[in-house]
Homo-oligomer: A and B are copies of this chain.
Amino acid sequence: MLASEALVPVSNGFPASALSPPRSQPTLAYDERGKPLTDAELPSLSAGKASCLMRSGQMTAQRYILSLLSHINQRDGHIQAWVFLDAKGAINQAKTLDELAPEQRGPLHGVPVGIKDIIAVKGQYENASKTHIVNLGMPTRYGSTIHDDDGPALADAAIVSILRSTGAIILGKTATTEFAATSRGGSCRNPRDLSRTPGGSSSGSAAAVADGHVPIAVGTQTGGSMIRPGSFTGTFALKPTWGALSTEGVGRFSISCDTLGFYTRNMDDLSLLSQIVRISPGSRNIPPPLRPSSCRVALIRSPMWPKAGPGTRGAWEQADRVLQQAGATVVHVELPNVFNRCYDWRETIVSSEARAAFLPRYLQAKEQLHSSIRKYVESKEYPSGEAVCEAYDCIGQLRNRWDKIAGEFDFVLTPSVPDEAPVGLEWTGSSAFCTLWTILHAPALNVPGLVGDSGLPIGLTVTGPRSADRSILEAGKFVGELFEDLQPAP
């Protein structure tokens, strides 16, 4: 299930490597010590392990979904990760999946997935006639009241369609900040500390994965909306290179920045997902597995370093130390000053694109929009066309320069967030450390494993040149294992 395995298309469109059970691992529903898995243990399974058990008939999709639904039932009153849960539809789908012959089972056979509520999910419906539909299914609310009266979407977003075709169960919609465009939190809580925000805007997707509700959830990032919740909740979060995944069917904020991504609890699931959605065929050459002794790592504190609090500073020093102890060559790299200007250029681009994105909803119901969203449309200090073009062009040149800087190393490590998740639910935290890689279109991966002063997660970001997604997945595995070794055994 390694990202570096050759992609051999098979008849149903999935790479063979994504379908074959890992032969060196047990495929029975037992844990690693040979004891049968109890229902209470199922929520901690990886997607890869769970789907392997279900594909090989060692566990039914119905047993798995029922155990997760029971877990969600116990937990989500506290967490509020879900804004819509299609329990009935999921159980029905599990029944159908259980009836499939083994050769018809996809790589995510029976795996329930959470979808951020700015992404369209097709409702189930009975097609009485082509213009008269009885529709039962999932709404899309965008963390807003504007779409309260809309019914379910009748076409899946591109990413949902891909996941559905793998046998995944689309379990429900997860909490998001308003149109994924504000940092005003909702009622979703951080499973690591209920008094704190899980981060945003992909709040519910990160929280649901962190809390074992689902092994995989889909989110989006325009500033830091994947990486920040990943860091705050202690999950792996991948924001691939911009353009690698189609955002058709996803609510628009900034066309140059909006990127889909995934939350998981381990690197293998991210690698599996990257194969399924084919992030990688156009990727830079398949990287060889990282060898610690010959590995070159750039540590980039980034222009935002003064915002780093004690948690991130401590994690940073720890990461530096363990990388060196592992034998890696660690180089502290400072970005050329011109990169400091990216933040302003990004503001210009996002404000221009957000204006186009939010005009329709502004005209429809401006009084229902958060003031920060209204401002994109109303602002008198709207950047000139020349300023917007200049921002596009300057950032464009820096993307190329970034690729060259990052391409000198096996991977780049940089902070994910200023510190642990802030206390309170009002504010979803700062995206300061994330926005640079988003506007540079670079892949970014939050690797959890370190902790701050309150014992809460601090992630670090693995990044690299555009389209080096495979390399950063390899690096994430390496870094993740180093961090894991630092933890006291549970």
Contacts and interface: CB of A to CB of B under 8 A. Distances in A.
Most buried by B among A120, A153, A356, A366: A356
A256 B386 CA distance: 19
A250 to B, nearest CB: 8
Given A134-B132, A359-B278, A384-B282, A158 B403 contact: no
Contacts of A336: none
Interface in A136-159: 136-137, 139-140, 147-156, 158-159
A394 to B, nearest CB: 9
A385 interface: yes
Given A132-B134, A151-B133, A363 B282 contact: no
Nearest to A252: B248
Interface string A223-255: 000000000000000000101111110011001
B162 A360 contact: yes
Nearest to A285: B384
A147 B151 contact: no
A370 B134 CA distance: 31
Interface in A389-429: 389, 392-393, 396-397, 399-400, 403
A269 to B, nearest CB: 19
A455 interface: no
B355 A282 contact: yes
A127 interface: yes
Contacts of A399: 389, 392-393
A13 interface: yes
A278 to B, nearest CB: 6
A61 B400 CA distance: 54
A467 interface: yes
A247 to B, nearest CB: 7
A127 B155 contact: no
A353 interface: yes
Given A135-B135, A382-B282, A396-B393, A246 B352 contact: no
Contacts of A389: 399-400, 403, 465-467
A241 B151 CA distance: 33
B385 A283 contact: yes
Given A134-B132, A252-B246, A397-B393, A363 B467 contact: no
Contact of A131 (B136, B149, B283): B136
A360 B250 CA distance: 14
A165 interface: yes
Nearest to A161: B360
A137 B151 CA distance: 13
A308 B449 CA distance: 63
A487 interface: no
B131 A152 contact: yes
A364 B386 CA distance: 42
A152 B139 contact: no
Nearest to A157: B360
Interface string A265-281: 00000000000011001
B147 A364 contact: no
A388 B281 CA distance: 12
A154 B162 contact: no
A440 to B, nearest CB: 11
Contacts of A400: 389, 393
Interface string A95-131: 0000000000000000000000000101101010011
Given A158-B359, A246-B252, A248-B360, 11 more contacts: A122-B150, A132-B134, A133-B134, A158-B360, A243-B255, A246-B360, A248-B252, A282-B383, A389-B399, A389-B403, A389-B466
- 9 cross-chain pairs, A with B, having the tightest CB-CB distances, nearest first: A385-B467, A396-B396, A133-B151, A161-B360, A248-B252, A165-B363, A133-B135, A151-B154, A158-B360
15 contacts: A13-B366, A123-B133, A125-B151, A131-B136, A134-B134, A156-B360, A161-B363, A165-B364, A243-B256, A246-B359, A247-B255, A282-B355, A282-B383, A392-B396, A397-B397
Interface of A: 9, 13, 120, 122-123, 125, 127, 130-137, 139-140, 147-156, 158-159, 161-162, 165, 241, 243-248, 251-252, 255-256, 277-278, 281-285, 352-353, 355-357, 359-364, 366, 378, 382-386, 388-389, 392-393, 396-397, 399-400, 403, 465-468
